Structure formats: structure tokens, C-alpha cells
Amino acid sequence: MTITDQLSDLLAGAARSLGLTPPAVHLSPPKNPAFGDYSTNLPLILARQAKKNPLDLARDLVDQLDPLPDTVAPPEITPPGFINFRLQPTYYYQVLQEILDHPDQYGRTHRGAGQTANVEFVSANPTGPLTVGHGRQAVLGDVVASILEWHGYEVTREYYYNDAGRQMRLLAASVEARYRELLGETTEFPEDGYQGEYIRDIARSVLATYGNALPREAPEFRREAETTIFQDIRATLEQLGVRHQIFSNEQTYYERGDIDRILSELKARDLIYEKDGATWLKTTRFGKEQDTVLIKQTGEPTYRLPDMAYHRDKFQRGFDVIVDIFGADHIATYPDVLAVLEALGMDTGRVRVLIHQFVTLVRGGEAVKMSTRKANFVTLRELVDRLGKDVVRYFFIMRGMNSHLNFDLDLAEDQSEKNPVFYLQYAHARIANILEHARAFGLEWTRRYDPKRLTTSEEFHLLKELDHIPRTWEAALDSLEPQVIAQSLQSLATAFHKFYTECRVVTDDQELSRARLALVTAVKSVLRNGLELLGIAAPDRM
RNA sequence: GCCCUUGUAGUUCAAUGGAUAGAACAAAUCCCUCCUAAGGAUUAGAUGUAGGUUCGAUUCCUACCAAGGGUACCA
């Protein structure tokens, strides 16, 4: 039980003993250190209910707070009605000891212990290389998965793609057109075809492998395209440090009959009907303005139907948590899928849908519309090649998924040297260097140290940052917003760099040195854990 | 038209309804006989507009303006 939980309980108890019914008591570290270490607005919230002035109520509440843990100083009351708690040094020394005792447990909640989670992300159809835009989702999904793992979930990272629809046919037709061009035949390039240079490369490879006599619409065109492009996608993800355990595709659900099964169940529940030669889903039942086409006039389902089959499959595989990560273009479609699953009797409360906004690519001061078909994209591979995995990952993860990110290609390379990720890594490397330096002086951090030798404001600032880590990393589990982890590491690194300039670790005073070695050792493990969560290297040397 | 997301410093982004709105880059000025200056210190600089709710609003509500996405037989 954390100190804030204890204080919350005490405050709630105090409120009840005054005859009040308190809401969830909220304690948070105030921005201004003059207001103590943790602060609550409970008197302000309860003033109306108590029919009292908040300051008077605060005094009454404080009078009822008994007994406080001995690591907490007597609380202070400040206008307009906050109660501020200050923690004793012994509390922070305990935090330090806790980290040193269990460096890999600090900040874990085990809330997911014994549970499984599935995170579906990237899921780009194999029609072209991954773009910078996909990079955001790749990193977001990977770190969300890591956060779940950190808190005890057994996580499956999954990639789902459509391999049965119009896009893949168009891809095959584009390859075939380039193939026939190579043979000198006059062909028409398909309207809306894929225009990228990589299509010509695939056509050349088809020619080299299968010769010049492939019949019209030979399956080789598609197969070769899919295989080649998928290899490229997987290699790019690998470069970014993203690994999916499972690749699922739409075709499977046709073959297994799941699509037909969904259809007949929807029919049995009177949720579909025929009109104009198409099959419609009654999405108006779910509060939409219009019904939705499930099967086109051509007899081919839209992607929604296999999506439904795929999601039901994920339910049937028994995951406790199912996370779907989509770009903003899917915002209108996932409610249909969820509504259908609900209608078919599944508990959609297990599903967490995370929508991220798109990355706007800026070149020469102007926004570039990216399109795989028109081949005016910048590939993710190019980006990772040029900037490196850590810079690219950090760039995408340091911002909230709802921000409409601007990515300026002209600045990317300049900025990459100034990427804040180096600030974090440098803190880690500096500590590694201190430890090495200490060893050279015959000073090894052992379990023996006297925490009371830590007294300066820089040391306490660091200890307080360490103290904040668990609540921040737990908040990341609730919100599945990775940027709060990045922010917590930034604050920790800032506190460390400040400490570094003000406090020398390796000194003639062996006892002081040992205490500071203990402190930086703790900081180092938290930084390492945090960087690992983000999938970023924690180097010992830079 | 309607729906979703977003408008914060010159720029790119932060800020569970809290107290003095943070950081980075860009600009200006300092600090390496000292464990790595990829660092530290200092200066200047912002909540789109108009209302509302609240003890308190960047945060919640309404309208307007602007950007991105969606608006159903592309995914």
C-alpha cells in the first residue's frame, strides 16, 4: 500500500467521522514544492456538502487525522482549502531501499498477473512499404504492449491484414502491368493502381523467377507481390525493434467458414437485409444515421465483415484484454464491429480501442499528402536508416496519440542530434561512468550505506522523482498513454543531471560516496527499466 | 451539411478541474585545472474567438473560426 493510498484512506475516514460521504480522495504532488509533497483538495470538494468554509473544514479534517504514519509530518492547510502533506526523509530513504532491494519490481503493479492481453497494431495491408505514418502506430502499439507486460499481462502482439479484397487485386494488376511493360507489350496501367517504383522491382523479380510467359491474371503476380512486400514490412519493423507474434489475415476466416457463420447469425438476429443487390447491416439499430453495406453488389464483402469474424476469433481465443490500435480513419468503423460483437453476445468491455491521429509530413514548409498508391510517401525504413531506432521511437512516443503530429523532413535530421532521447540515455551513461570511476577508486557500492548522508535539495529532488515513478507508471496502465512514461523519465533525468553538476559522487568522504552511489544506482535501474519499456537502448557509454 | 479529433511561446510538443501553464529547438548571456559540456545556470516569449458552469477552467458545456479525419459498396 502506497503512502498516498494510506493518506487517502485516513482522509476518507476523517470525512466520515465528520458525518460526510467523501468521494474518491485525490492526492497529488503539487507543482509548487512550497505546498509539500502530496496535496489534496478534499476540503474544497466537501465544503458544500459540509456547509462549511473550506478552510474550517480542512482544520476539522486534520483534527480527525489520527494517527498519521510516522513518515508523514504534521499537515499544513493553505487557502483556498488544500491540505498539504510533507514526507519525512525516512520515507524517501525507504523508497531508495525498496528500489535497491528489488530494482526490477519498482513501479510494477502486477495488476495483470495471470491475465492475457492481445494488442493488434500496424496491420497495414501488404500493398507497399511501411510509411512514416505507420511508424507512429508501430511504436505506439509496441509500447502499449510493453506497458501491459510490465504490469503482469501475458501479451500477444498481433498484426492483421486484408489479403482478399480489392486492394490486393489492384496490387496484382499493377505488378502485371509492369511485367507486361517489361515484355514490351502495350498495356494499360490500372486506374488507381500502385505507382511506386517497388512495383517495377517486383515485376522484374517475377520475370526473373517465372519467365516471360505468365498468363493473364496469373496468381504469381499477387503471390510474389505479397511475399516481397511482407518481407520488407517485417524487416522494417524488426529494425524498429517491433516484433509481432502472430500475423492474421482475412483469408483464413473465409476458409474456416467464419464469415458465413457471422452472416447467418446476423440474419438470425434480423440485423441484415438485402437491398439493391447488396447486403446491408442495420447500423441504424446501433444509433447510426444510415445502414452499412456488408456485401457489395459484386458479391464481395467490405472489410467490415472479416473484421467482425477476426474480432470474434480474438474473443474466442480467450484474451482478458483486447487492444485495437487504429488510425483516425477507422474512428467511424470500429463502433460497428463492437456493436455486432455485443449483439452476438460478447463482452465488449474487454476491448480497448486506441485511436491515434495522423502524422502530417512537412517538406519545404508544406504539408505532403501521403499515399501508398501515388507513391509520394517517405518510407519508415528510410527514416530508421537515417535517424536510428531510438530517435524514431522516441519521436513518436513522446507525444500523445491525439496530437496531430507534424513531421518536418527537413528538420528531422538536424533535430535528430538534439532529440531528447539522448538526454535520457546520457543520464544513464553518466551513471554507468560514475560507477566505473568509483570502482577505479576502489569504491564499490555495497549493501552498506547510510541513507542519512543524503541531505541536499538535489538529492531529495531525485528521491522525490523516484517516488513519483510508480504512480505514473500505473497511470500509464489505466490510460495506455505511453507518453507519460517518457515524461516521467525526462523529469528523472533532469533531476539527475542537476544532481550531477551539484553533487560529486566519488569523493574522499567514503560514507557520503557510498550513499550517493546507492542513490545513482537506484536512478540507473529505474532509467533502464523505463527505457526498456519504451524499447530504447540504455547505453553505458555515449 | 453532419460526426470524431485537435487549436497553448517564433517552431514542435506537455500539463488526473487546482495554487506561479511546463519542456525542447530557435534567440541572448554565463559555467569544463572538477566522476562524459549529448550537461548545468540565467533572460525573453503562449492557452484561436465569444459566452457559460465552478470557490477555481488549458482542462467541462455552448456557439463561432481554423486544421486533420470520417460521412458507409476503398482500407
d(CA A119, CA A351): 10
> By percentage, how much of chain A surpasses pLDDT 70?
100
Protein-nucleic contacts, chain A 50-89 to strand B, CB < 7 Å? 54, 78, 80-82, 84
Nine cell digits for residue A325? 490500435
Distance of CA A299 to CAs A274, A295, A308, A365, A465, Å? Answer: 12, 6, 18, 45, 60
- The residue whose CA lies nearest the C1' of nucleotide B35 is A434
- The residue whose CA lies nearest the C1' of nucleotide B73 is A296
CB A26 under 7 Å to nucleic chain B: yes
pLDDT, residue A522, reads 97
- ipTM score here? 0.94
d(CA A83, CA A42): 8
Protein-nucleic contacts, chain A 206-245 to strand B, CB < 7 Å? none
Asked if residues A222 and A171 have their Cβ atoms less than 8 Å apart, the reply is yes
Q: How confident is the model at residue A52 (pLDDT cuts 50, 70, 90)?
A: confident
What residue ranges define each of the domains in chain A, with the CATH number in brackets? 3-87 (3.30.1360.70), 166-237 (no CATH), 420-534 (1.10.730.10)
d(CA A125, CA A252): 15
CB A423 under 7 Å to nucleic chain B: yes
pLDDT digits (tens, 9 = 90+) for A23-33: 888 999 998 88
| Beta strands A27-28; A38-40: pairing state | antiparallel
Nearest nt (C1') from A417 Cα: B38
pLDDT digits (tens, 9 = 90+) for A263-295: 999 999 999 999 888 999 998 888 788 889 999
pLDDT, residue A472, reads 95
Nearest nt (C1') from A293 Cα: B73
d(CA A52, CA A152): 45
Nearest nt (C1') from A328 Cα: B69
Protein-nucleic contacts, chain A 332-361 to strand B, CB < 7 Å? 332-333, 336, 355, 357-358, 360
Separation of CA A399 and C1' B46 in angstroms? 19
> By percentage, how much of chain A surpasses pLDDT 90?
74
Q: How confident is the model at residue A141 (pLDDT cuts 50, 70, 90)?
A: very high
CB A45 under 7 Å to nucleic chain B: yes
Q: What angle do CA A294, A299, A302 make, to 5 degrees?
A: 35
CB A399 under 7 Å to nucleic chain B: yes
- CA terminus-to-terminus distance, chain A: 39
Separation of CA A45 and C1' B61 in angstroms? 20
pLDDT digits (tens, 9 = 90+) for A390-436: 999 999 999 999 999 988 888 888 788 889 999 999 999 999 999 99
CB A8 under 7 Å to nucleic chain B: no
CB A331 under 7 Å to nucleic chain B: yes
Nine cell digits for residue A135? 511508424
- Model confidence at A465: pLDDT above 90: yes
Please give the helix or strand (H or E) that residue A117 lies within, else none. strand A116-120
